Amino acid sequence: MFALHLARMNKQQEAGQSEKQEEEVTGLVCLEADLQDGQMREVAVDDQKVLLVRIQGQYSAVGSRCSHYSAPLIKGALVGDRVRCPFHGACFNVRTGDIEEYPGLDSIPILFYLVLNHIYPHLQSLTLTKRVKEMFAIQPGTKHTVLLIGGGPASLVCAETLRQNCYPGHIVIVTKDSLPPIDKPKLSKAMNLENHFATQALCGYVLLQVVSVHPPDKVVKMSDGTSKRYDQLLIATGSRPLSCPGSDLKGVHLLQSYDDAKEIHSSSVGQRAVVIGASFIGMEVASYLSDKATSVALVGSASYPFEKSLGPEIGKMTMAMLEEKNVKFFMNDRVTEIRGENGKVKNVVLSSGAVLEADVVIAGIGVIPNSDFLAGSKVAVDSGKAVIVDKYMRTNIPDIFSAGDVASFPLSIRGDQQVNIGHWQMSHSHGKVAALNMLKKPTKIESVPFFWSALAGKSIRYTGYGEGYTEILVKGKVEERKFLAFYIKDEEVVAAASLMFDPAVAQVAELMAEGKNITKKQAQSDDLSWLQM
């Protein structure tokens, strides 16, 4: 049996001075036979929950909650020596606690580590839920500069990774955003919440927009006419929403920034809202506004929302979920005109002839990469304006890298097919890989896409890359809103989606990350033991 010892740090203050005291906490948590190799168990020590894991005869214990949104890791997928969060796909090494896949920025604490009956305590607080890896400080006299264009997650993770790997030079983020980086997936899911990341003194910020890049001189020109030199450059400018006719009218909104989200929230309460686009953004906005606006109408060009990505059956289900929230759908239709009166939106005219009265219009009709400023730089972009990079996030120009929504990169799970994927999680991974390669630590981008959508209080999870799928196999029942869907192409599972079927999608993502092919035969079987379900 195992009696596990932890050292907990308590702080006491007397006479204005801080004194740290160590307190040992002992807990008898399980018998040796209770935990087999490849298993994990959530145990309680001193009324705190700890994740105990056994891998190849060795035991370790880490914080029980994901550092992203505090999801219980016990409900996630354990493959090899890492556990993947069931909700949003973040991965942590159970031996070190380090974050190995995103979203999120922080690692989880290692509380103690033991081999057989030998216990090695780590002086960590038992109540810690997150652990920030040590950052290397800039060294005086160092002239080397890494310039990061864009203030999103790719740049932030790139900066953190550089500092965590002993980069001694200058890091400068150039961004037009006046506010700190935001947790962007929340913009369409919780529009009235503060969601800024707390950032350390990792780098300098220049609150301007880059208007051109001149690689021969390693110089970028700013919107105020000034220039800045770099030794290495990261292009992480993201994408911008496509505008629509009438977007200059008051009351017509695009959702890109925190201020956009706040304005949409405040202007929609008690008003008539029309959402254009049945994409993930459009559906999430409609769901969010369903109990705030007096009416919500959603216009989509297909028969059902998500029809191309998730299939008609799941699309029909999501449509029913929002119809129950009094969202009215106008599908197989398009907006031909947004009319205004005295400079303010009044109604939306559809190709079917329908006229929707509107006080607020939110357009979610797609995005385009922010790469226009690269004109003349000879940095290669594809036909969709995405910056082309290789497995190491390098562009065709030496010392220029790209990451995030603006980049087109080789997707390892699809035979290195060049893709542009606007996923929050993937942007984090891009930033890390770019940083490591800047430091001459050759690292390939091998992350598996993972995203989620929150609708009417339910979360749909998705992993893989389903473009071109030819068949969908479903476990459970979509109409009962509890299912696992496999997307098949060439007799293989290329993607999976689920609702109320955790941790299936997390497990699929881990199998894909290990390079394992999931066959159509496996997906057809009623035996899901290969998914540890």
Digit-coded pLDDT (tens) for 159-182:
999 999 999 999 999 998 766 565
Q: Give domain status of residue 296, yes or no.
A: yes
Tell me how crowded residue 24 is: count the other CB atoms within 10 A of its CB.
9
CA distance linking residue 447 with residue 437, whole number of Å = 16
Nearest of 190, 238, 187, 213 to residue 428 by alpha carbon: 238
Residue 439 DSSP one-character state: T
End-to-end Cα distance, the chain: 28
CATH number at 378 reads 3.50.50.60
State whether 385 and 356 are in the same domain: no
Mean pLDDT of the chain: 87
CA distance linking residue 157 with residue 164, whole number of Å = 10
In the predicted model, is pLDDT for residue 32 greater than 80?
Answer: no
State whether 103 and 9 are in the same domain: yes
CATH number at 527 reads 3.30.390.30
Digit-coded pLDDT (tens) for 446-498:
999 999 999 999 999 999 999 999 999 999 999 999 999 999 999 999 999 99
Distance of CA 400 to the CA centre of its chain: 24
Digit-coded pLDDT (tens) for 249-273:
999 998 888 888 899 999 999 999 9
Angle at 320 between CA 316 and CA 321, to 5 degrees: 120
Are 107 and 97 a contacting pair, CB within 8 Å?
A: yes
Total number of domains constituting the chain: 4
- CB-based contacts of 311, cutoff 8 Å, min separation 6: 472, 485, 487
State whether 234 and 379 are in the same domain: yes
Q: Give domain status of residue 132, yes or no.
A: no
Helix (H) or strand (E) holding 22: strand 17-30
* Confidence at 35, pLDDT banded by 50, 70, 90: confident
State whether 203 and 221 are in the same domain: yes
Residues for the chain: how many in total? 533
Q: Tell the burial category of 489 from Cβ atoms under 10 Å away from its Cβ (0-12, 13-18, 19+).
A: middle
Are 224 and 208 a contacting pair, CB within 8 Å?
A: yes
Which percentage of the chain shows pLDDT scores above 70? 86
State whether 525 and 484 are in the same domain: yes
State whether 412 and 482 are in the same domain: no
Digit-coded pLDDT (tens) for 63-110:
899 988 889 999 999 988 999 999 989 999 999 999 999 988 889 988
pLDDT for the residue 339: 95
State whether 332 and 296 are in the same domain: yes
CATH number at 44 reads 2.102.10.10
Q: Give domain status of residue 446, yes or no.
A: no
Tell me how crowded residue 142 is: count the other CB atoms within 10 A of its CB.
11
Which percentage of the chain shows pLDDT scores above 90? 66
Choose one of 406, 438, 470: the last residue of a domain: 438
Are 471 and 488 a contacting pair, CB within 8 Å?
A: yes
State whether 47 and 61 are in the same domain: yes
In the predicted model, is pLDDT for residue 26 greater than 70?
Answer: no
Choose one of 343, 365, 387: the last residue of a domain: 365
Q: Give domain status of residue 449, yes or no.
A: no
State whether 317 and 373 are in the same domain: no
State whether 149 and 186 are in the same domain: yes
Q: Give domain status of residue 131, yes or no.
A: no
Nearest of 292, 278, 283, 295 to residue 322 by alpha carbon: 283
- 495 is in which domain, residue-wise? 457-531
CA distance linking residue 311 with residue 42, whole number of Å = 37
Q: Give domain status of residue 219, yes or no.
A: yes
Digit-coded pLDDT (tens) for 194-213:
554 545 556 677 888 999 99
State whether 359 and 296 are in the same domain: yes
Torsion of CA 147, 153, 156, 159, to 10 degrees: -70
State whether 353 and 393 are in the same domain: no
Q: Give domain status of residue 246, yes or no.
A: no
Helix (H) or strand (E) holding 368: strand 367-369
Cis bond leading into 503, ω under 30°? Answer: yes
Choose one of 320, 338, 365: the last residue of a domain: 365
Q: Give domain status of residue 30, yes or no.
A: yes
The model carries a pTM of: 0.86
CA distance linking residue 136 with residue 202, whole number of Å = 9
CA distance linking residue 358 with residue 330, whole number of Å = 14
Lowest mean pLDDT among 45-49, 225-229, 276-280, 515-519: 45-49
In the predicted model, is pLDDT for residue 527 greater than 60?
Answer: yes
Angle at 126 between CA 50 and CA 429, to 5 degrees: 70
Burial 68-103 (b: 16+ CB within 10 A, else e): beebebbebbbbebbbbbbbbbbbbbbebbbbbbbb
The token pair at 213 is 């890049």
Detail the DSSP E strand segments found in 491-533.
492-499
